[in-house]
Amino acid sequence: MTVITPALKWGLIGLAAIVLSLLQAGLFRQDLFNLNGVPLLWRFIVASVHPDLSTELLQTTFSATVTTLAYAVCGTFFSVILGMIGGVLASEVWWLSFGQPSRCWLLIRAAIAVPRAIHELIWGLFFVNIWGLDPLTAIVAIAIPFGAITAKVFSEILDETPRTPLLILLNSGVSPLTAFFYSLLPQAFLNLLSYVFYRFECSIRSAAVLGIIGAGGLGYEIFLSLQSLRYEQLWTFFYALFILNGLVDLSSAWLRRRLGCSSRIDLNLQQNKSKTPQKAAQNYFILIPIALFLLTLCFWYINPDFSKFWAPRTQQLFGQFVRSALPPDFSGVPQLIPQAIETVSMSVLAIAFSAFGGLLLAFPAANNFFLPGGLLNQQGNGSLPQIMFLLSRAVLLICRAIPAPIWALVVLFVMFPGILPGAIALGLHNLGILGRLMAEVIENQDQRPLAALKAQGAPNSLIFLYGVLPLTMPRFLAYSLYRWEVCMRETVIVGLVGAGGLGRSLTEQLSSFDYQALIVTLGGFLMLTFLVDWVSANARRSLR
């Protein structure tokens, strides 16, 4: 009798979901591709080798790049503040320290689930109607959802941190607040700090996305150039975005190494690795002045108008929005059901594509695998591994640097609007993120079992099949499931540019100021997001 393990069960469910999603996307129909758009796509590709390098455009590019960076820095700053407060209050261990009922943390986690489920682009569109195109719009649009996401991750990190030192202090009569801050936080500090670096990298990409709604920065310039078919200018902005993401990635990795953070984010671990903040304390003087200087410079550069928070006009416009959105209009619910199915199908196909592509590129992109002196190339022979390393890193950087809506507009050159182009666009963007995260898993894996297999004379193929894959696949699957939750949120933004799903309805309702129907559509999208979160969390727990 065959025993169905949790991994096999979720594997079969995932395979069935992919097949059903392909059928829903109409993969076998004949009207998927628009061959009339091939000349435009070719012009787009050819323009990559001769971007516009005129002085005027380079000045515009530099200004837009600094604006994007400033939005990301300021948005990350507020999201971390919100995340620290919400993360402590949403952690079970915080309430247990005070002897409070464990249901308190569940209520707070439920409260922060709503803002994190709504994509930052939707928040941006809402605040544009309230504050206009002030930089405050972009900052708050990043801070609210990212603050809620950070709070969720921080709370999980705190809950998974070993509690023995905390219990010892509590049993010794130390006050709960003192015990919490002197025992639990020092243990979790490096994991929390590592996630802050990861969230900052995500903020760079979100700041570029917000440019699509007119918030400024590289995303705004890219969208204008793409809409006007000025591909030479477009590629100039693309290269600036690649450089910005690459520099942020390198500086983040350097700071994490100096501070002792092994990876951006830890998932699917029974407990966090033992890390000692004391070991990295001597390097904190590097981070703090850099962070303070960069933060001050960014706030000075974009100069957001914080007085708009309490301005009478803000209260007036917000009140008008609430009055126009109530009562909700449920008459369009039957039409939303097929679009909801499209949205889920799009997210499933996107994560399947990105997970498979990320898996293929992660191994050549890892610096300890094929490179000379690596696990499968200890002799250090040949230049091909170095070429593969550089190419795979470049592909991953390009994929994650270009926002998903821009990928969707490019894919729509040669495909008709629908689920499949949206899934391809999301898959390309998340492929770059997943591939880099998976490469870090490979770089940080325990080398001792692999060295033991190597010492016993096992060939490289068996080391890969019986050593590398069993050690890395649980983390790969955890990252993929985590990104599936993100893909679900991002289906809205590719829908805004015509890729299908609930995003299309949101676009129509926003453009027609039909807020009564918009509230219902957002409610349906939130339900789908919570469903995906629940499935993803259960799958990750089963695969531990």
SS3 string, 504-524, reads: HHHHHHHHCCCHHHHHHHHHH
Q: Is residue 23 a part of any domain in this protein?
A: no
Q: Could you tell me the two tokens for 14? A: 């995932």
If DSSP states are collapsed to H, E and C, what string results for 238-277?
Answer: HHHHHHHHHHHHHHHHHHHHHHCCCCCCCCCCCCCCCCCH
pTM of the model: 0.85
Kindly list the distances between the CA atom of residue 117 and the CA atoms of 146, 464, 485, 534, in Å, as whole numbers in the listed order.
10, 38, 9, 13
Predicted pLDDT at 2: 54
C-alpha Rg value of the chain to the nearest Å: 24
Q: For residue range 388-421, what is the model confidence (pLDDT) as tens digits? A: 888 998 899 889 888 888 888 888 888 877 788 8
Strand-pairing partners, residue 33, are 415
DSSP 82-105: HHHHHHHHT-HHHHHHTT--THHH
Whether 381 and 460 have beta carbons less than 8 Å apart is answered as no
Count of structural domains within the chain: 2
| Class of residue 460 by CB neighbours under 10 A (exposed 0-12, middle 13-18, buried 19+) | middle
Residue holding tokens 């699957």?
A: 477
Q: Tell me, what's the pLDDT at 284?
A: 62
d(CA 189, CA 198): 14
**pLDDT value of position 58:** 92
**Whether 346 and 438 share a structural domain:** yes
Domain identity same for 172 and 77: yes
Predicted pLDDT of residue 307:
86
Assess if residue 77 is contained within a domain: yes
Residues of the chain predicted below pLDDT 70: 1-4, 7, 28-30, 100-102, 260-286, 372-382, 496-500, 543-544
> Is residue 329 in a domain?
no
Cα–Cα distance between 503 and 495 in angstroms, integer? 4
Query: How far is C-alpha 498 from the geometric centre of its chain's CA atoms?
Result: 22
Residues 208 and 339 reside in one and the same domain: no
Can you tell me the distance from the alpha carbon of 290 to that of 267, in angstroms, rounded to the nearest whole number? 28
In a domain, 108, yes or no: yes
Q: What is the pLDDT of residues 244-265, one digit of tens each?
A: 988 888 888 777 777 766 555 5
Angstrom distances, CA of residue 12 to CA of 7, 281, 323, 478: 9, 47, 47, 16
At 498 the pLDDT is: 62
Same domain, 102 and 185: yes
Main-chain phi, psi angles of 130, to 5 degrees = -95, -50
CATH code (residue 148): 1.10.3720.10
Q: Say what the pLDDT of residue 310 is.
A: 85
| Structural domain includes residue 40 | no
Residues 134 and 252 in one domain: yes
Q: Is residue 7 part of a domain?
A: no
Q: Long-range pairs for 46-52 at CB < 8 Å and ≥24 separation?
A: 46/231, 47/231, 47/232, 47/234, 47/235, 48/235, 48/238, 50/232, 51/232, 51/233, 51/235, 51/236, 51/238, 51/239, 52/230, 52/232, 52/233, 52/235, 52/236
Q: What is the pLDDT of residue 270?
A: 41
The reply to whether 167 and 281 lie within a common domain is: yes
Query: Does 403 share its domain with 299?
Result: no
Pair 316, 340 in one domain: no
Q: Do residues 517 and 332 touch, judged by C-beta distance below 8 A?
A: yes
Q: Please give the residue range of the domain that contains residue 520.
A: 335-542
- 25 within domain boundaries: no
Q: Is residue 60 part of a domain?
A: no
Question: Residue 395: helix, strand or coil by DSSP?
Answer: helix
Does 209 lie in the same domain as 108? yes
Based on the fold, state whether residues 341 and 399 are members of the same structural domain.
yes
Residues 442 and 515 in one domain: yes
pLDDT of residue 62: 93
Q: Are residues 344 and 280 in the same domain?
A: no
Distance separating alpha carbons of residues 65 and 152, to the nearest angstrom:
30
SS3 at position 392: helix
Q: Examine the fold and report which residue of 275, 291, 320 is the final residue of a domain before the chain moves on.
A: 320
